Structure 1
C-alpha cells in the first residue's frame, strides 16, 4: 500500500492509558509489546497507540504497528470507530488498511468524522459489498460530486450502478449511409418505403437506449413484467424499486440466482416483504450464507433469526455475541449459546 506523504502534523488528545505507554514508562520493550497488540487495553486505546507508533520515528515500532493494524480482529477496530470524536486521521489510516473489510467500512461510512479523503479512497479502490454500500448512500454522495465520479470510474463498479449515478453509456457511431444517385423523383411506393425505414430507425433508437433510461419510461405493470422475466441487469435495477409489487416480483423471477437472493438478504435496507419471501423459500434458506445474512438482517423476525442461529458455526456465534449490527435479543441468545457450550 502506497500512501502519499502529507507531512502534516496531527494533534490528538491522548487518554491517560495511551499517554503512559507513549512515555518512557517501561522502556522500549513495553512499547514494542503495545505495537504488537500484546498489552491489555481497550480496543479504542489500542488503535490510538498503533496510530501514534505508525506515525512515529521509530521504524521498528512503525512496522509492528502497521502489521498489527492490518491483522486486528474487526471488533477491535469497530470499538475505536464507536467513538464519535475519533480523529479523521485515524479513520483515514483504518480506511487505507481495511478498505476491503465490509463490517469496518460500514462503520466508517456512518462515522461523523470520516473525511472526504477517506471516502474518495473507498470510492476509488473498493469493490463488492463495500462499493455498493457507498454507492447506495445518497447522503454521502451529496457531499461532493467527486465521489460520484470516482465510483463511476472505479473498474469494479457494475454497469447498472454507473447508470444510476448518471453515467451515460457511449453510443457506437453508425456507419454513414452509402450515397446513391437519385435518377427520378420518388413515387408513392418510394415514399412508403421511406416511412417504413424511418419507423425501423425509431425502433433501433429505442433498443439502443440503456436499460436504466428505458426504466424511466416504463409503467408499473411493465416493470412488474420485466421483474418476472428480465435478465440479471434488469433484476439488479428493479430490486431497488420502492414499489413492493415490483421488487418482490424480482424474487419470483425463475432466473434469479442464489447469489442474488443472498445479496438481497445482505442489504440491510431490504424491506420486510422481501425478507418474508426469502424465508418462505426453503432452497435459499438451506444455504449457510443465507442463514447468516438473515440472522443479521434487522427485518428478520427475532424468533426465526434465533432458530437460524442454531445452524451457525461457533465462530459466527462469537461474532454475534459482540456485534453492533444486531439487536440485543440476538446478542443475548448468542451469549447464551456460547455459555451452554462451555458447560
Structure 2
C-alpha cells in the first residue's frame, strides 16, 4: 500500500511555534481555537497543521475552527496564496457552499486533484469555471472525465469544451453564441492512413493491433469477436483518447463512443465529421443513447429534414419530450395513429398524436 505524500507547509516563526510537536499541549489547544494574531492564510495553515496533531482534542478544535472561519477570513484564504492542501480540505469541507467553491476554482493555487473534485459537484457555476480553464483541461484529462459524467454539465459547457478541443458542430445544428477554437483539419484532409498513424501516436504502441479496425471503414460488419475486442480496447482508453478517436474513428468506433456514459465523449462521437445520414437515422431510434445525444440530433436542421429521422425521434422515449412533440407535426396520419396507440412512447406524445388526428377529424 502506497503511503500518502508528505505535505510541506511554510510558516513564519511566529506561527510555527503553535504547531511544533514539542510545543506545550495547552498552547496547541489554545491555537486550535483559532484566536491567533495571524494573517488569514497563515491562520488557516496553522489550523490545517493542527488537524494532524496527536492530541484528539487539538484535532477536534482545529477542525471546528477551520470549518467555521469568519466569512471575511475565509474569503481571504480561499482567494489568497494558501497551500493547495489547505484549499483541497476547505473544498471538501464546504462542498455544499457554491460561493466558497467558486473562489477555490478561481484560485491559481488550487491543485488539479481539487479541480477534478470540483468538476464532479452539483454546482453549475463552479462547473462552468472549471470548464473554462483550458490549461488545466489539457494538463489533467481527469477533469474532462469528471465534467463529462456530471449531470450538471450543460450542453453549452460541453459545446465550449469540444470547441476548444477542435470539434466543429455539424452544419445545421442550432448554435450558442460562443467563440470557437481553431478547427482541426477537415475530414477530407484526414486520410485513413494519417488517422491511423495519429491514433497510434496518440494512444501509444498498444494501439497498433486494433488501430486499423477503429479507423478503416468496412463494407461488411465486423464479426462478434472483433466487436468484443474493439469494445474492450475502447473501454481502456481515457476520456481524451476517446474524444480523439471520435473524430478519427470509423463507424464501429462511433457506434461504441456514442453510447459512452461520458457526455463529452458521446457528443464528440455524434459530431464526428465522418458521420453518415444512415448512422444518424439509426441513432435517432436507438433507445440506449443518452438524452444529450438525441438532443444534438434533434437540434440539427440538416439531419431532421429526413422523414425517417423525424419519425424515429418522435417515437424514441429517450428523446426529450418537447422535441418529440415538435416532430409529430410533420408525420402522416398512419404514423400518428400508430403513435396514438403505442405503449412505448411517453403519454404526452401519444396524447398529442390523438389531438392532431382529432383536429383533422380522423378520430
Give TM-score scaled by structure 2 length: 0.43
Give TM-score scaled by structure 1 length: 0.45
Q: Relative contact order: is structure 1 or structure 2 higher (C-alpha 8 Å, sep ≥ 6)?
A: 2
